[in-house]
Structures are given as structure tokens and as C-alpha cells.
Amino acid sequence: MPRPLRDPQPMLERAIEEWGGHEDLWIFGYGSLIWRPEFDFSERRPAHLHGWHRALKMWSRINRGTPQCPGLVFGLLSGGSCRGMVFRIPAAQGLETLGRLWLREMPTGVYDPRWLDCVTPHGRVRALAFTLSRRSPNFTGELSEARYREIFAHACGRYGTSLEYARQTLEELQRHGIHDAALMRLLRLAEAELSEAADCPRQPAGLYPNTQAPSSTNNQQENP
């Protein structure tokens, strides 16, 4: 387990206090929470968040990469807007859900949890979102196209590759009718890299999370 950047417990306590516990809990998902929430919810709605945007600009050194070859996951950065999903959790399950979310999203205290107003087809809701500060050491800053290609080709952690993570997110966004032009552009970079490497018989070391030989389809996709 990496050393915490900040103690996550005070942030959990503040989130609980700001929620209050008397009403249902809303959570805003913009990345893997959409396709792998890992909590029970009573309702899910598409939501539009103003003033923040989804960006593949957060280093991942365990889940989607390693300290030697960091991968990428999404952060919610200030500026612009973001379409995602909000999940409603009954008040009686709110405390347990927040505790589980903190174990998943906040073991190192990297995010800044915020209560943000989200626009949904059935009105506004105040939802908890995990935002990322540009001052965080996990914020990548601007990355070149060549760097994204390198990460997509090589970065792999305990949950799989950065490329797989990005593809799963895009597929789920599209399933819910959400268009993300920036993510589509990044994945086109990865496809171009894979096309250029299609005739190369040698695969990058450490790309696959297991020792089973990948199929010919997986060789082309570099995605287990």
C-alpha cells in the first residue's frame, strides 16, 4: 500500500458531516464508477456537471500501472463541463457506502471530495464527486501524444492496462449516450500506435497481467 499523501479520515468525517445523513446520498460517477460502482443504489440518472471536466491526467502506480511504468486513470479537473451518472443511495445505507468508497477511492487521500450540483433530467441533485487538484503530485500536467501512446502500449497494473480502462470507460459512456471527444481522440492515438506495431513480433515486457499467452486478437489490441 502506498504511503498516504494526506490522512483520508478527516476528509471522510467532513463529507459525512456535510451530507448530514438525513437524506438519500448521491454520488457522481465520471470514470470507473459508471461501469464498476461496487455499491448498491436505488436509482441512477444521467447528469451534467458544470465547472469540472473528466481528464485522463492522473497517475496510477498500482491499479493501472507500476512505479516503474505509471499508468493513467481519470480525475475530475476544474473548468469546462462533464457528463456522467449520479447514483442515489438510500440514507440508511449512506454511511456504509461512504466507508466503502473511501477504501476504494481514498486510500492515499489523493482526491478532493466535493459536494457539487448536478443537473439531471429530473432536476438538480447535490452529489459527492472525487475531484483532482492540479497541485496534486498525482496530476500529470500536460502530456504529449507520444507519451500517451507509450502509456497505452506499456502501462499495466493489478486491475489491467490503462488502455483497457480507457476503452471500458468510453464504451460505458457511449452506452449511456454520453459523447467524450477528448477520450475518443486519445484512443485513436492508441489505435494508431497498435497499427504501426502490428508487424512487430515482440510484445512489450509486462504488458499482460498474467502469463497465459494472449490470442492473436489480443496481440493486435494489446489488451488482455
In tens, the pLDDT along 95-107 reads 999 999 999 999 8
CB 151 within 8 Å of CB 71: yes
What average pLDDT score do residues 63-84 get? 97
The one-letter amino acid code at 213 reads A
The percentage of residues in the chain with a pLDDT greater than 70, rounded to a whole number, is: 84
CB 71 within 8 Å of CB 154: no
93 pLDDT above the threshold of 50: yes
Three-state SS annotation for 52-104? EEEEEEEEECCCCCCCCCCEEEEEEEEEEEEEEEEEEECHHHHHHHHHHHHHH
In the block, residue with C-alpha cell 500517451: 148
3 pLDDT above the threshold of 70: no
> Three-state DSSP class for 164?
helix
In the block, residue with C-alpha cell 440514507: 91
What average pLDDT score do residues 167-172 get? 96
The answer to whether 172 is a known catalytic residue is no
Query: 175 or 190, which is more confident?
Result: 175
Q: What pLDDT was estimated at residue 195? A: 63
Q: What pLDDT was estimated at residue 210? A: 33
CB 40 within 8 Å of CB 87: no
Tens digits of residue pLDDT in 7-20: 999 999 999 999 99
What average pLDDT score do residues 25-50 get? 96
> Three-state DSSP class for 6?
coil
Rounded to 5 degrees, what are φ and ψ at 119? Answer: -90, 125
Mean pLDDT of the chain: 87
Taking CA atoms, 88 is separated from 106, 120, 175, in Å, by: 20, 12, 20
| Length of the chain in terms of residues written | 224
For residue 69, what is its C-alpha cell? 511504468
Catalytic residue among 43, 105, 150, 172: 105
- The whole-model pTM stands at 0.84
Taking CA atoms, 170 is separated from 82, 185, 220, in Å, by: 13, 11, 19
CA distance 153 to 163: 8
- List the beta bridge partners of residue 49: 82, 118
203 pLDDT above the threshold of 60: no
What average pLDDT score do residues 38-42 get? 95
Query: 144 or 4, which is more confident?
Result: 144
72 pLDDT above the threshold of 80: yes
> Three-state DSSP class for 1?
coil
For residue 211, what is its C-alpha cell? 502469463
